[in-house]
Structure 1
Amino acid sequence: MLLPTACCIHGGDITTDCSGNSIYNVFLEFALRGSLFDFIKKTGSGTGLPKVLVRDCTRSILIGLKQVHDHGFVHCDIKPHNVLLVPTVDGYIPKVVDFGLAKRHNVRDGSGVRGTWLFFSPEAVVFGNQEAPSDIWALECTVLMMLIGKPPWACTSKSELLSQIATETPMIPHHISKTTQNFLSCYFVRHSAKRLTTTELLSHFFLLESDECKEVFIKNQLKFQIRSILE
């Protein structure tokens, strides 16, 4: 399937390492800007990205994730590290990558929960269940990380992290707009069956607001690219 907001595969081959093990290599389109995680670290400067950038990135990721879900798959590892920024004619577009942990909807293969603990949903931690709503929760953690410039959970150990995910909800900062707070609250619904879908979230007024987001996005991208070259 061709996903406009998922990195395209251009081919692959099999190589052999020094131990004689076969390695399958996948050739993806070149993401000049690197990952969204890198972008948050360098552009966000620990304080988060501007709202207009967060909205653009979120919309693109949601479009890609919607197509994944519509084709009957669950990504299982949505996070800033698995979103790459691919150049376009007038800027960059965030694209979802790394489908190595993806699974078919409502299919359990006995391998247990998969992905990155920091972005696990409550149902993944408590019941070992990962379906489309779990991707939505992980995306919300990603959106929150874009807004605040740091992980959604503050903890010192894996056990503390899992306890927080199982019983709490990430704190939504009060300094962001009411529209953004409402959008975040649509994601962070602890009951997975009541969590909004990609289609419903794409219709949220937070993503439909209009302003000079494109111009701001391109200017910030240019600054980021210049810093990357100098570094």
Structure 2
Amino acid sequence: MARAGWAPPRLDEFILTERLGTGTYATVYKAYRKKNTREVVAVKCVSKRSLNRVSVENLLTEIEILKTIRHPHIVELKDFQWDSDHIYLIMEFCAGGDLSHFIRMRRILPEKVARIFLQQLACALKFLHDHNISHLDLKPQNILLSAPENPQLKLADFGFAQYMSPWDEKHVLRGSPLYMAPEMVCCQQYDARVDLWSVGVILYEALFGRPPFASRSFAELEEKIRSDRVIELPSRPRLSPECRDLLQRLLERDPLKRISFEQFFAHPFVDMEHMPSPESLGKATSLVVEAVKKDQEGDVSAALSLYCKALEYFVPALHYESDARRKEAIRAKVGQYISRAEELKALVMCDSKSLLRQANPAREILKEMAKDKPRLCAALEMASAAIAKEEEGKDDGDTLELYQQSLGELLLILAEPAGRRRELLHAEIQALMARAEYLKDQIKMREAQSMGKEALAESVRSSCTLQ
């Protein structure tokens, strides 16, 4: 609530209560609409006396941008008003505070939680990018959460945002130094890619509990940012290869080498296709209908693949659903589909392994013919090692990597002149590709089932906690 001897500005339609935060030229209050709905909003109060020419431009741009955009992961501007002393932006109220506070309270976020937030942030950025808008001040304090439980991320504070084009690069220093791209700190030309650097810093902070350039002074921060040293990612906590790859590509000092927006939106860790959304359940259901049809037709392999693809949408559907009864119904269905997928997987593995284990006499002949080619010999040995590991039951990522390395070598060697050895080599490559694809499918199916089981367990734990 307001401090004794101090009162917020007065606004006819609203009762302004506690102060939520203070910025360079604005203070934000929680407020209630006086009439009918008693709607809760956030009111951003800008004192006209505090405005200089630049801050007026920033405010006008913020109002212009927010008036034109509506997106589930961007804070909504409901209205704006003014009087002789203040300009008021009436905004959507976010009860969950900001991402900075959320991270501090938990010290670090598990990769799965960070990924859900990143997907939502990517969704907001894609919308802005499609409308040629750059935020230019991305930081955890400007990312709000809709509620304390099951929060939805909401991008806020467009005070520095700009309509930008590749030919409209700026030299103006904008944003917060800890999250600022090197080209901005170093007063070089910059463009929309500065937002991608900031996303990298935010993701790093969420996963490791502090930004990569945490410093005691601006001089120390500037020195670290200007350095040419590659940003080392801590070894703990352990991250998935996709997450590490994305972090390294976002935190690339040279904007020309940094990941592009298109690459970012398509990156497997961002995986926007499978983010929790209102469409997740519909996509999962249509895949299940196809899976049941193939199952009834006796096409076991196709049915298994479709059940697993459906699980990849059911998991985000479980995350997205807030209604307890509908969540329970989804949970029951997911349990059934996981059980059926496991039954089908046993059948498929039995059939596929017997086919893959059939002797390949051509491989032995090819090995004999490769004795004068050390590189070919090494690639074939690598393939044999992968097959041996798989047949021992080690059907994991390391075995798949061995297959991929051997295939990479063999495909380079395939360019040799036509002849018996080239024919055998071609047949061997096709056989190895089939094995590698089969193994890739097995890993993906296992991951989908595991995700489904984890989501079920997590969803059961959440409902127990709520009860």
Give the stretch that moved more between structures: 112-121 or 2-11. 2-11
Select the residue among 145, 159, 172 that pairs with 1:100: 159
Measured at CA, do residues 145 and 70 of structure 1 come closer, stay the same or move farther in structure 2, by a change above 3 Å? same
Partner of 1:207: 270
Gaps of 5+ in 2: 1-68, 275-311, 320-454
> Offset of 1:14 from its aligned partner?
1.2
Specify the alignment match of 2:103 in structure 1: 40
1:141-174 CA deviation, whole Å, 9 max, x = no partner?
A: 0000000112221322101101111224543122
What residue is the counterpart of 2:145 in the other structure?
Answer: 85
Give me the whole-angstrom Cα distance separating, in 1, the residues matched to 2:459 and 2:223: 37
State whether structure 2 residue 223 is matched by structure 1 residue 163: yes
* Distance apart, 1:79 and its partner CA: 0.5
- Is the 8 Å Cα contact of residues 137 and 187 (structure 1) preserved in structure 2? yes
Letter in 1 for 2:100: F
Instruction: Specify the alignment match of 1:55 in structure 2.
Output: 115
Counterpart in the other structure of 1:181: 244
Structure 2 distance, partners of 1:217, 1:153, is 36
The within-5 A match list for 1:118-137 is 118-137=178-197
Aligned length: 213
* Secondary structure at the counterpart of residue 84 of structure 1: strand
Q: Deviations over 1:102-161 (max 9, x none)?
A: 122143677x21100011111112243332110000111000000011222132210110
Query: After alignment, is 62-71 or 195-204 more displaced?
Result: 195-204
Once residues 207 and 13 of structure 1 are traced to their aligned partners in structure 2, the CA distance between those partners, rounded to angstroms, is 38
Distance in 2, matches of 1:140 and 1:174, equals 17
Verify the 8 A CA contact 1:188 1:195 in the aligned structure 2.
yes
Q: 1:202 to 1:99 in 2, by over 3 A?
A: same
> Contact (CA 8 Å) 2:73, 2:154: kept in 1 or not?
yes
Which region of structure 1 is more displaced relative to structure 2, 201-210 or 75-84?
201-210
* Residue number in structure 1 paired with 2:63: none
- Gaps in structure 1 of 5+ consecutive residues: 17-21, 224-231
Instruction: Specify the code of the residue in structure 1 equivalent to 2:81.
Output: D
The alignment yields a C-alpha RMSD, in angstroms, of 2.9
- Residue 75 of structure 2 corresponds to 7
Q: Choose which of 82, 88, 94 in structure 2 pairs with 1:25.
A: 88
Pair 1:189–1:218, CA change in 2 (3 A): farther
TM-score when normalising by structure 2: 0.42
Residue type at the aligned position of 2:215:
C
Residue of structure 1 equivalent to 2:258: 195
Give 1:93 deviation, angstroms. Answer: 1.0
Q: Could you state the TM-score of these two structures normalised by the residue count of structure 1? A: 0.81
Query: Greater relative contact order (Cα 8 A, min sep 6): structure 1 or 2?
Result: 1
Deviation sequence 1:55-91 (CA, Å, 0-9, x none): 0001111111122122112111000001011149x93
Give the 3-state SS of the residue equivalent to 2:151 in structure 1: strand
2: CA distance, partners of 1:218 / 1:61: 27
Q: In structure 2, what is the equivalent of residue 66 of structure 1? A: 126
Relative to total residues, which structure has the larger helix share, 1 or 2? Answer: 2
**Which stretch has the larger CA shift, 193-202 or 3-12?**
193-202
SS at match of 1:115: coil
CA contact (8 A) 1:50 1:147 kept: yes
Q: Any conservation in 2 of the 1:91–1:218 contact (CA below 8 Å)?
A: no
By how many angstroms is 1:194 displaced?
Answer: 2.4
4+ runs of 1 displaced by more than 6 Å?
217-220
Q: 1:92 to 1:154 in 2, by over 3 A?
A: closer
CA contact (8 A) 2:77 2:90 kept: yes
The amino acid that maps onto 1:159 is A
Larger Rg belongs to:
2
